[in-house]
Amino acid sequence: MAVPKRKMSRSNTRHRRAQWKASTPQLVPITVDGVAHLVPQRLAKAYERGLLRPEG
């Protein structure tokens, strides 16, 4: 396991952590029961198979 050679300052630590951001999911249009919905691409097959129900 890697071990830091020197202590990292609080400022540097927080600047580094601030770069970690969640990316928004890529939405794709699908049609369920004749109604078009935008859902995340990784869940499109589950919606088409009926495993998930779109809300709204």
Q: How many domains does the chain have?
A: 1
Per-residue pLDDT averaged across 31-56, rounded? 88
Report CA 48 to chain centroid distance, whole Å.
20
Strand partners, 17: none
**Cα-based torsion angle of the residue sequence 44, 53, 50, 38 in order, rounded to the nearest 10 degrees:** -20
34: in domain: yes
Residue range of the domain that includes 45: 25-55
Per-residue pLDDT averaged across 19-43, rounded? 92
Running DSSP on this structure, what letter comes out for residue 6? S
Per-residue pLDDT averaged across 30-52, rounded? 91
18: in domain: no
Running DSSP on this structure, what letter comes out for residue 34? T
6: in domain: no
Residue 10 has pLDDT above 90, yes or no: yes
32: in domain: yes
Residue 34 has pLDDT above 70, yes or no: yes
